[in-house]
Amino acid sequence: MDMKENSLLVSPSILASDFSDPVSALEKISQSGADYVHLDVMDGMFVPNITFGPKYIGDLRKRTDLVFDTHLMIMEPERYIRQFAEAGSDIITVHQEATRHLHRCLAMIKEEGKEAGVAINPATPVEEIVPVLDMVDYVLVMSVDPGFGGQKFIRYSSRKIGQLDSIRRREGYQYLINVDGGINENTVHIVAKAGVDMVVTGSAFFSSPDPAAFVENLLETAGGAL
Ligand code: DX5
Ligand code: ZN
């Protein structure tokens, strides 16, 4: 993999969409030119909000070929990895803060033949995940405290993106750096400059009257920041 590809990957989160009409949300995402859909799974314990589980993801799987980027905001995610894999997730991301067995959890995802991601909350330092960086495909830097869409981007997260970029260059690791929370046309340049490869976008994407133009604008702004 080229360490720093020019083009940013965009993963719209359906959290900000109308849950009574997911098919329209998926169509909006494919028409925007994005290749991924970010699926925010919340359990009301790890985060103070509840969304959906594997059945919902399995049902969505029948409706689209988009890459399923499943973000598990649930305690002890090892209990459900197989179910989320079988539901059709392509990438499964677990939080460092949610499990006592992070290495085992990531190994389980790989054993299911899926891409593995590790996420860290805004207050978790990069040092906490250094021991697993050689085995992950994605690192998800939370730039808001997880639980809700529409929150303000936390600027310190760009320092963590920079750190992760330096570590992978130094060690020759292959992971992509993803960022989640408060990403829009005004914040994307900050994370692009820091070395991010992929951005999640929820409320900014779904509130945009023209999602294709929105994605194009994100890509241009990110490209201009390099
Ligand atoms: C927050 C979720 C995010 C959320 C992002 O807990 O993990 O994926 O959908 O939404 P915005 O882009 O509105 O911050
Ligand atoms: Zn998310």
Whether 137 is catalytic: no
Choosing from 43, 69, 165, 180, which is the catalytic residue? 180
Phi, psi dihedrals of residue 179, rounded to the nearest 5°: -130, 145
DSSP 73-92: ESSSGGGTHHHHHHTT-SEE
Give the nearest ligand 1 atom to 150 CA.
Answer: 13
Kindly give the confidence (pLDDT) of every residue in the chain, 226 residues in length, as a single tens digit, with 9 standing for 90 and above: 344 445 899 999 999 999 999 999 999 999 999 989 999 999 999 999 999 999 999 999 999 999 999 999 999 999 999 999 999 999 999 999 999 999 999 999 999 999 999 999 999 999 999 999 999 999 999 999 999 999 999 999 999 999 999 999 999 999 999 999 999 999 999 999 999 999 999 999 999 999 999 999 999 999 998 8
The closest-lying atom of ligand 1 relative to the alpha carbon of residue 145 is 6
Report the C-alpha gap between 176 and 68 in whole angstroms: 16
Ligand nearest to the CA of 199: 1
Q: Is the CB of 38 under 6 A from ligand 1?
A: yes
- The finding on whether 180 has its CB within 6 A of some atom of ligand 1 is yes
If you measure from the C-alpha of residue 120 to the centroid of ligand 2, how many angstroms do you get, rounded to a whole number?
11
Asked if residue 93 has its Cβ within 6 Å of ligand 1, the reply is: no
